[in-house]
Structure 1
Amino acid sequence: MNHAPGRASTVIALTGATGFIGNALRERLLAAGHAVRALYRPRRGRVMPQAPGLTWVAGDLADRDALAALVNGATAVVHCAGNVRGARRDDFDLVNEKGVADIVQAARGTTGCDRFLLISSLAAREPQLSDYARSKRLGEQALQAHAGHLTWVALRPPAVYGPGDREMLPLFEGMARGLAPIPGDGRGRFSMIHVADLASAVVAWLAVESESGAIHELHDGHARGYDWDTVLATASRVLRDGARIRRLRIPTPCLRAVAGVNLLAARLFGYAPMLTPGKVREITHADWTCDNADFVQATGWQPAIGFAEGLAQTFGKPPVALNGVSQ
C-alpha cells in the first residue's frame, strides 16, 4: 500500500451527487480537501447547495457534452449514479451499463484523468436474480472493457443506510413502532454499511496507489453479517428502550404475487416500481454477507460505525450505551 502525496488537492468528477450516497460522498470528498465537480440534472426552480471547492455541471449521463465538461481537468472520476427502479430491463441497462460505458470513455479521453471508481452493488455478485443485479454486473464489465489506461476499481456495498436514506428507512420506522416485516423465511444473513463508512472508503482508495481492476466488497466490520434476531435485538435497544418488536412474516408467494401485479401496473401506467419479481428474488436470497479483507489490506481503510450507532444516527438519537460503554 503506497500513499500518494498530493492527491488531497485533486479535482474529483462525481456523478449521482444529489442522491443519498452521492450527498455523503460529495461532503466527504470536500472535507478531505478535494475539489469536486458534480453532475446534476437541472429542472425549473432547482437551486444546488454551494460550498468552497464545489462546482456543479448541468446535464445527465446521456449528455456527452456535459460528461466532457464534467471530466475535463479532473484527475479521478467517482461514478455513483445508478438506477434502482424499473419496469423493464432497458430501464436498468441504459443507466447502469451504458451510462458507465459513456462516462468511462469520456474520462479515458481526458488528459490528466487517470483513476476511476465505480460504486456498484453487492447485487452484481448474483446477476441471475434480477434485471437490476444483471445491469450492475454489466456495468462492471463495461468499466473493464472501456477503461483503457485508467486505474479502476469497483466497490460492491451491501445494504447502505444512514441519515437521508429512503429505501431502508420504512423498515426501520416500522421497527421503531414495534413491527418488523420479514420477507420470506427470515433465515438469510446479510451485511450492511453506514453511508459515512462507504464515503470514507472512497476517500481511502483515492489516497493510495493501487492496482487496477479490483472488485471489492465492503461492510461495517460485523463478521459474517447479520441475521434478523441480531437486527431486531439492536433495534429494540436503540429505538424502543428494550421494548419488543413483533415480526410480521411475509411469505415469498405473497411477495411474488404483489410484485407481479405491481410490475404489470407499472408497465401500464408508466411509473418506476421498486417491488418487482426480481426484487423479491433479491430480498429473499439467503446470503448477502461480505468479506472486505482485500480492500482493508489494499487501502488501510477501516469501518467506524457499527449498526447500533448507525441506527441511532439515522433517527437522530444519542449513542446507545451497551454494558456501560457508548457504542
Structure 2
Amino acid sequence: MNEELDDGRPVVALTGATGFIGAALSEHLMQAGYRVRALYRPRRGRVMPCADGLKWIAGDLDDPEALAELMRGAETLIHCAGSVRGANRADFDRVNEQGVINAVEAALREPACRRFLLISSLAAREPELSDYAGSKRRGERALAARAGRLSWAAIRPPAVYGPGDREMLPLFQGMARGVAAIPGSGSGRFSLIHVADLASAVITWLGAGTESGAIYELDDGHERGYDWDTVLGTAAQVLRDGAPIRRLKIPVAILRTVAGVNRLGARLFGYAPMLTPGKVREITHTDWVSDSTAFVQATGWRPVVSFRDGLAQTLGKTPALTGLPE
C-alpha cells in the first residue's frame, strides 16, 4: 500500500483501525510520533488512505499470516477490533473472544512486542445482560489467561461519541431538531467520553509504566455521570439556542417486540441485527456510570473535552478537538 521506513519511531500495531474508534486512534498515534501498522479487511474497490507513518496490512483476525505481518517490528498491539452486531453468542464470541485469542497469540510470536492493550467496553462489567456484554468479558478473561510475557491492560470506555460515530449521531441529530428518543423510563445514569479523550488516554497509557493486568474504566470527568435532564439541557443550549427538546419515550415492551422480530429475521435471513433482546437489556440498564479514578492515578491522564464542547464539535458547531495537550 504505502512505503514504510524505519525512522526510529516506535511501532504500534492496531486492529479495528477502520472503525470509528480505531480511525481516531490511528490519527492520534501518528500525531504523537508513533508509526502505525493497521489491519483492514480488503474488498473490491476499497482504497485505504495513505499517511506518513501508516502501513495498512490486508487481512482479518482469522488470518495468521496477516497477523504476523501486522505485528512485524511492533512493540505494542492495541486491539480495538470488535463486533457490536450479532444474532447469537457465537456471532459475538467469534470476534470479541476468539479474535482476542488470535491477536494475543500473534503478539507473543513477535519478539519485539512487549505490551498489549485491549479496548473493551463498559458493558463487560455486566456480562449477564447480553451476548455482546458477555463476549467482551470473555475477551478480557482470554487476554488475562494467555498474555504470558506481555504487559497488558484493558480499557472499558462508556458510550463514545464524536465525528465519524454513526451510533449516537442520529440521537444528537434528533435533539438538534427538538426530539430525543429515549429508551425505557429514561431514569438511568450513564457516562460519556469524546473519542479524542479516549485516544489521548491510549497515548498516555503508552507512555506510562502501568501495572500489568489492570482493567480500567474511563469517563469524561463529569462526576456521577449524566442523567437525561442534564444531557437534554446541555443539548438545548448548544444545538437549539435554549429551545426545549421534547422527550419521546419508547416503552420497553415496544423495544422487546422489535428485538424479537429482529431475532426471528436473523434466523430466517441470516443478517446480524443491532437491536436484540440482549441489547434492550443493555440500553435500559440503569447504571452505566464509569469512574476513571484508577486510570488517572496510574497514568496521570486527564480528560479535556466537556460534553458541551464535544457535542458542538460533533454536530459541526466548532472546529475539531484533539483531546491532546497543547
Provide TM-score, normalisation by structure 2: 0.94
Query: What SS class does the counterpart of residue 167 from structure 1 fall into?
Result: coil
Q: Is 1:200 aligned to residue 211 of structure 2? A: no
For residue 254 of structure 1, report the CA deviation from its aligned partner.
1.4
| AA partner of residue 12 (structure 1) | V
- Matched with 2:131 is 131
Range 257-266 or range 304-313, more displaced: 257-266
1:203-238 deviation per Cα after TM superposition (whole angstroms, max 9, x unaligned): 000011111000000000101000000000011011
For residues 318 and 95 of structure 2, what CA distance do their matches in structure 1 show?
38
| AA partner of residue 192 (structure 2) | M
For residues 45 and 182 of structure 2, what CA distance do their matches in structure 1 show?
40
- Matched with 1:293 is 293
Aligned-pair identity in percent equals 71
- Matched with 1:40 is 40
1:155-196 deviation per Cα after TM superposition (whole angstroms, max 9, x unaligned): 000000000000011111111111111111111000000000
Range 130-139 or range 270-279, more displaced: 270-279
For residues 125 and 138 of structure 1, what CA distance do their matches in structure 2 show?
11
Give ranges in structure 2 of 5+ residues lacking alignment.
1-7, 320-326
Residue pairs, 1:4-19, within 5 angstroms: 9-19=9-19
- Matched with 2:263 is 263
- Matched with 2:323 is none
1:136-166 deviation per Cα after TM superposition (whole angstroms, max 9, x unaligned): 0000001001100100000000000000000
For residue 272 of structure 1, report the CA deviation from its aligned partner.
1.2
- Matched with 2:4 is none
For residue 318 of structure 1, report the CA deviation from its aligned partner.
2.9
Query: What SS class does the counterpart of residue 209 from structure 1 fall into?
Result: coil
Q: Is 1:28 aligned to residue 28 of structure 2? A: yes
- Matched with 2:223 is 223
Query: What SS class does the counterpart of residue 9 from structure 1 fall into?
Result: coil
- Matched with 1:160 is 160
- Matched with 2:3 is none
- Matched with 1:323 is none
Query: What SS class does the counterpart of residue 117 from structure 2 fall into?
Result: strand
For residues 305 and 234 of structure 2, what CA distance do their matches in structure 1 show?
14
| AA partner of residue 237 (structure 1) | Q
Aligned residues: 312
- Matched with 1:209 is 209
Give ranges in structure 1 of 5+ residues lacking alignment.
1-7, 320-327
For residue 253 of structure 1, report the CA deviation from its aligned partner.
1.4
- Matched with 2:308 is 308
1:75-109 deviation per Cα after TM superposition (whole angstroms, max 9, x unaligned): 00000000000111111000000000011011012
Structure 1 segments, 4+ long, off by >4 Å, are none
Q: Is 1:272 aligned to residue 272 of structure 2? A: yes
